[in-house]
């Protein structure tokens, strides 16, 4: 079970790396006003979120079965608490390493998401301002073909 848990954690780490790559790509698209890329990136992020949830569900199920604990306990269980229960020292060391890497990656992702949110809000405000200028302050734009 320990090696299976390690495998799940490695997979979740790969998914998180991909999420970081997409967040970086999103930031570049926001800075360069590449609106068409944003919808594609968002759809990839949504698919990735589903994969992350599925991986997390598998890890939770494994913990419930292995440690004979409730779902709530498995969800609240921290990797640092698990390290003491792992008998294989090599696996324990690798899980410690992954735990530290995951913490760094999550922090980076939170920072990138905050920056991306700020950039998208600024872009939205700029578009509103331009529309106001173009329409002379009217809220509706009449277009005739």
Question: What is the distance between the alpha carbons of residues 62 and 55, in angstroms, rounded to a whole number?
Answer: 11
What's the length of the chain? Answer: 145
pTM exceeds 0.85 for this model: no
**145 has pLDDT over 50:** no
CB 52 within 8 A of CB 19: yes
Question: What is the distance between the alpha carbons of residues 74 and 11, in angstroms, rounded to a whole number?
Answer: 18
pLDDT digits (tens, 9 = 90+) for 38-58: 889 999 999 999 999 999 999
Domains, the chain, ordered by start: 2-135 (1.20.58)
Q: What percent of the chain has pLDDT over 70?
A: 94
CB 29 within 8 A of CB 38: yes
pLDDT digits (tens, 9 = 90+) for 105-120: 999 999 999 999 998 8
Write down the residue that tokens 């999550």 correspond to: 106
């Amino acid at each position: 079970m320990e090696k299976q848990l390690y495998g799940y954690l490695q997979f979740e780490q790969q998914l998180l790396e991909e999420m970081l790559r997409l967040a970086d790509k999103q930031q570049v698209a926001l800075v360069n006003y590449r609106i068409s890329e944003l919808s594609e990136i968002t759809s990839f992020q949504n698919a990735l979120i589903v994969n992350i949830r599925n991986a997390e569900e598998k890890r939770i199920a494994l913990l419930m079965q292995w440690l004979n604990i409730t779902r709530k306990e498995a969800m609240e269980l921290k990797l640092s608490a698990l390290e003491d229960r792992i008998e294989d020292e090599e696996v324990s060391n690798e899980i410690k390493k992954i735990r530290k890497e995951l913490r760094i990656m999550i922090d980076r992702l939170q920072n990138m998401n905050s920056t991306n949110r700020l950039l998208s809000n600024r872009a939205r405000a700029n578009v509103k301002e331009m529309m106001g200028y173009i329409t002379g302050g009217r809220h509706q734009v009449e277009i005739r073909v």
